[in-house]
Copies of this chain bind each other. A is one copy, B any other.
């Protein structure tokens, strides 16, 4: 009983994961819609129908790319970001995690979801709906964090959580925009200091 035979199933899973990982990186640079089975096959060294067999359809491949990117975002931004004491520290920490995720080039094309939103915002269909749902989940998460900080007395309960969320999201989105377009690490510093100043402004007496 060789180890190879009992674990044969994981070989297929590993190949699947290897192709998907490459596809996610490529999609972050060129867009989910510009992924083709042929180029993916060429770049990973498998046959085109070999790649195809792992996903069943191009649409399915695209959805799996998005799901894989979501898992990475969940790990790098959400989990790291929530690993701080409740209230204001958690808000500071999650936006810091967001900027670190951009800074460390977790995806070669910058924030995967900034690109994904831009690619599918004006289209209709399954992917557009998934992107809207994913963004709404982020909005809800941030609103919850802000409301908790309000109930802790760290942020004035009279302020509109959506307004603060809008300002913070604008800063990190624009940081990604400048960082990726100009390939300039200084953008990250400006993002960090602007987030800090914005949070400071909203937590002092108004």
B-binding residues in A (CB < 8 A)? 28-31, 33-34, 108-110, 114-115, 117-119, 121-123, 131-132, 135, 162-163, 166-167, 169-171, 173-175, 177-178, 180-182, 190, 194
Contacts and interface: CB of A to CB of B under 8 A. Distances in A.
Nearest to A29: B122
Count this chain's copies in the assembly: 2
6 contacts: A29-B123, A31-B31, A34-B34, A108-B122, A117-B177, A117-B181
Contacts of A190: 162-163, 166
Say what secondary structure dominates the interface of chain A: helix
Nearest to A190: B166
A39 B33 CA distance: 16
Given A108-B122, A135-B181, A170-B175, 9 more contacts: A31-B33, A109-B122, A114-B118, A115-B122, A119-B119, A163-B194, A170-B170, A173-B174, A173-B177
B182 A167 contact: no
A132 B181 contact: yes
A121 B180 contact: yes
A163 B190 CA distance: 8
Given A163-B190, A174-B170, A174-B173, A28 B181 contact: no
B121 A181 contact: yes
